[in-house]
Structure 1
Amino acid sequence: MARRATPPPPPAAPAGTTGKGPLAAIRRRRARPKFGPDGRPTGRIAQMRQVYSMTRREDPSVRWWMLGVVVAVFAVAVPVGFLVGHPIYLTVIALPLAVLGAMVVLARKAEAAAYKQIEGRPGAAGAALRSIRRGWDITEEPVAVDPRTQDSVFRGVGRAGVVLVGDGPPHRVGKLLEAERRKVTRVLPSVPVHVLQAGTGEDQVPLAKLPRKVQRLKPVMTKNELSEVNRRLKAIGGMRLPVPKGIDPMRARPDRKAVRGR
């Protein structure tokens, strides 16, 4: 009987990178690969350059906003430094503040650019909901989908209740939302169900504002009640593939002539 091949041992860490302390941390940082599996650089500065390039493609005004923040910080710090008699000291303090302000502007603009890239695509509402850090359990897959139009409904559960978010035109996705709302209400009659639609139309919530809209819903349940709600919703199940009307899948039989090639 042939022996099973033993897997090769994991590669050993470079010397001097397994200890503790600041020197070991610096060695570990230097030992990290500079390029990832996709060939892109993994350093923080390189990643910031990529974020800036992506944001500038979608919003060319980002550089002027960042420059304006830097100029505004120095415009306040330098005169104040001359007034108090310490212009160099205030200038040194203003430098990291200016960089921090520019990074905050870049982060806000990059987030808006990312939402703009996925706007109008199937599943964009789910991607926006999954950006919520904590407090809400968002489904990875939609709980309802129209196979013809690709309209979908995503579900989130939090202490504020159940939130259903439709992804699609309001005149089409409204039926999916109402059907899913009725299904949740039958199982959880005493739990509030919030129905939202993601989009740029009337009575819809833009993708960039959708996470904040959900997070601002008022909590009405305890943690124990939330666990019970999650348990009941898991019993409902997720999306099921549609079966053509008039066909019983338990009694369906293959076409013998088609199998034989006739």
Structure 2
Amino acid sequence: MAKNEPEKKQRWYQLIAQAYKFTKPYDSALLPLMIGVPVIVIGAAVVAGLLLGSTVALVYAIILGVLLAVLGDLFLLTRRFEKVAFERMEGQMGGSLYVAQSIRRGWQFEDDPIAVDQRGAAIVFYGVGVGGIVLLAEGTGARKHVDKVKARLTKVASGVKVTPIYVGTGDGQVPVKTLPKAIRKVKAEAYGRGLSSGLKKDEQEVVRQRLRAMGGAQLPMPKGVDPLRARPDRKGMRGR
């Protein structure tokens, strides 16, 4: 019986190509911008090298310009990729989780929902971070599920601020594309501003362990757009 071969890890250039192919059909400005950034950066580097009046300085300026141009294009592609992915997530059940997990620091959102409507009309995810606990509620009837979850959480994580965010395009809801901004604002609204305010990392981990022990809804994600299959590994894109 043949053994299952481990899945090959994609190389950084494959991830870049994958991100570009995903983004290009929805972003007509992507290619002109990716051409324009190197032209401007390298051009500025050449001018700077010529002004220094030294062949060595010119060579180093060109090398630095090329490196900065590559970094600039990678940064541009990552941002445009995220923008397109977020837009495609609008209206897709479970899209809020993908967007929330794209936040790089301060928050960690679990893959499994904490509450699901059996008819698929609503779903609630949760995350723990510097601002306490955030509930991402999607779908019609999500409010009643949020109320039940909050009642459970106040017993399991007493004293920790629980902030629900209703995701959508309706009244009192947060669109998917502005969800990261809304999540980042939670910390200031719950605990005030400043580096010393909010939950510390060890406190966050204690809360996560309690919530995991509490369990949650174990239902498969609804079908739809799956940008997770196209999401590039940022470390890989940087060549790590």
TM-score normalised by length of structure 1: 0.64
Q: Secondary structure at the match of 2:111?
A: coil
Match of 1:103 in 2: 74
**Deviation of the 1:109 alpha carbon:** 0.9
**RMSD value, Cα:** 3.4
Structure (1/2) with the larger helix percentage: 2
User: Aligned equivalents of 1:74 and 1:137: distance in 2?
Assistant: 38
2: distance between equivalents of 1:220 and 1:99? Answer: 37
1:94 and 2:72 matched: no
Partner of 1:163: 134
SS at match of 2:199: coil
Q: CA separation of 1:209/1:80 partners in 2, compared to 1, >3 Å: closer, same or farther?
A: same
Report how many residues are paired. Answer: 207
CA contact (8 A) 1:126 1:142 kept: no
| Aligned residue identity for 1:72 | I
Pair 1:239-2:239 in alignment: no
1:192 shift after superposition: 0.8
SS of equivalent to 2:112: coil
| Amino acid of the structure 1 residue aligned with 2:152 | K
Q: Is the 8 A contact 2:167 2:174 kept in 1?
A: yes
User: What residue ranges of structure 2 are gaps of 5+ in the alignment?
Assistant: 189-196, 220-240
The yes-or-no answer on 1:82 pairing with 2:50 is yes
Which 10-residue stretch deviates more, 49-58 or 80-89?
80-89
Q: Secondary structure at the match of 1:148?
A: coil
Task: Give the C-alpha shift of residue 69 in structure 1.
Answer: 1.4
Are 1:64 and 2:32 counterparts?
yes
Q: For structure 1, which runs of at least 5 residues remain unmatched after alignment?
A: 1-6, 12-32, 242-262
Structure 2 residue aligned with 1:50: 18
Matched, 1:184 2:153: yes
Q: CA 1:237/1:8 → structure 2, altered by over 3 Å: closer, same or farther?
A: closer
Corresponding position of 1:142: 113
What percent of counterpart residues are identical?
33
The Cα shift of 1:119 comes to 2.7
Q: Which is worse superposed, 207-216 or 57-66? A: 207-216
Task: Name which of structure 1's ranges 99-108 and 77-86 shifts more when overlaid on structure 2.
Answer: 77-86
Aligned counterpart, 1:214: 183
TM-score, normalization: structure 2? 0.69
Deviations 1:178-222 (A, max 9, x none): 332233224434211111122344543343443454355255334
CA-to-aligned-CA distance 1:26-51 (integer Å, 9 cap, x gap): xxxxxxx9xx67xxx94433332222
Q: CA deviation at 1:10?
A: 11
